[in-house]
Amino acid sequence: MNFADRYGPFAVITGASEGTGREFALQLAAAGIPSILIARREAPLQTLAAEILETTGVECSTASIDLAAPDAAAQVLAAAGGQEIGLFIANAGADPNGSKFLDLDLENWLQLVRRNVMTVFECSYHFAATMRTRRRGGLLLVNSGAAYGGASYLATYAATKAFMLAFTEGLWAELKPFNVDMLTLVMETTDTPEFRRLLAAKGLPVFPNLASPRDVAALGLANLANGPIVNWGKSDEEPGPPTSAKSRRERILAIDEMTKPIFGG
């Protein structure tokens, strides 16, 4: 199967208006896969859809959705409509707060959890189910190195990303027999507009040697079949915090075998 046959005919991308989300949409269109582009701001989505149509002839649709809303997942599924979704990319999930947990109102963190966990969780349940039935497709959840441990300014954000890491590992093992790919793309600091806005709000200069959104998106798409984890800037066997992707993969498979008698798999 070529890429479009395996992950088409349509993709859903959340957080598609800029940064890595925009790059995912451009690169999928170049492979002949149209996307349903989702983000809170409609204007950048329409601009991107028009650019994709002009440069590739691929027609994308757009939907303005606040992914932190309690019914965000239902809105995403409604935007997908009756289209056959072969690839779901959960790209939205930055932390716009940059604050310690107790220094902000609780609602800020509840929104972060809804956006980074519940909406991704619910969408993954729906799209993975249909992919399992068809026995093809993929889910790509964009992650962060914060998944490997917390810090004083990252308590909630790191927790949401750690959830994404463990969730991907488990669902990867579950979907593997059905030819459905599952990958979490663990990014390091990337030169996105959202990150630049955070730096500007804190009065900080742009960091040197930031990862390119184009390169990060390309890495994720190229490794969809090599789940459950790909770490930016590290080889498959290179130790990362705390272990290599390969060793984590082997551990997942071992635990999967051990727990099958317990859970009746």
3-class SS of residue 205: coil
Q: Where are the beta strands (DSSP E) in the chain?
A: 10-14, 35-39, 61-64, 85-90, 137-144, 180-187, 229-231
Q: Quote the tokens at residue 109.
A: 């963190």
The single residue of 157, 176, 202, 246 carrying the catalytic annotation is 157
Please, where are the H alpha helices in 66-105? 72-80
Has 161 been annotated as catalytic? yes
Structure tokens that stand for 158 in this block = 């790191």
- Going by the DSSP 8-state scheme, the letter that residue 183 receives in this structure is E
Give catalytic status of residue 125 as yes or no: no
Helix, strand, or coil here: 85? strand
Q: How many angstroms separate the CA atoms of 74 and 51, rounded?
A: 28
Among 7, 153, 161, 234, the one annotated catalytic: 161
- Using only C-alpha atoms, what is the Rg of the chain? 18
For 120, the 3-state DSSP assignment is: helix
Which three-class secondary structure state does DSSP give residue 61? strand
From the CB of residue 75, how many other CB atoms can be counted at a distance below 10 Å?
Answer: 17
d(CA 14, CA 154): 22
Backbone angles phi, psi at 93, to 5 degrees: 160, 20
Q: Give the active site residues.
A: 157, 161
